[in-house]
Amino acid sequence: MKKIVIPLLLGLFATIPHHLPAASYKSIIVNQSDGSEMKVTIEDDMKTAVAEGNLVITCTKGDIVLPVIDIKNWTFSTSAGSDDVWTGIESPTASGTNCILNSDRIILSNLPEGSTVTLCSIDGRIVKNSRAEGDYELSISELPKGIYVLTYNKNTLKIAVAK
């Protein structure tokens, strides 16, 4: 069976406040392949990058480095992250659209009427282009290995698919 490693996006944590309902989500839970999880509190200036096979989360207290191959998925939580990881803001601001990434699909919810969702390969080819509103699910299980760019409502996410 082909294996898809979690879609990763550049700037994920920096843009989270634009995707989550205000005062709802306070942390991100990263589930790892070995069954462990890491809960990181969302911060105002949090940044991410994918470099040399690692997801690097830059927080005010330092960097968190996770091997991409060891990440199963991630989700949001309404509870604060561990004080041992990094503390952050209490109530992120948001536009109201939620984005959830799993190993086989991307789920967008609460999209405004007339939203356009576009997935492009890194070389600019349009892989999928849809009009959507409310809830929208985009399967990525059949995508070949590579880097993709997802855009919706003036938000841009960079996603890495590895098999």
- What CATH number is associated with residue 84? 2.60.40.3080
Per-residue model confidence (pLDDT) at position 76: 72
pLDDT tens per residue across span 107-143: 888 889 999 999 988 788 999 999 999 999 999 888 8
One DSSP character per residue, 102-132 reads -SSEEEEEEEEEEEEEEEEETTS-EEEEEEE
Per-residue model confidence (pLDDT) at position 119: 92
Whole-prediction pTM: 0.44
Residue 47 in any domain: the answer is: yes
Per-residue model confidence (pLDDT) at position 98: 76
Q: Which domain holds residue 55?
A: 12-161
- Rounded CA-CA distance 9/17 in Å is 15
Number of separate domains in the chain: 1
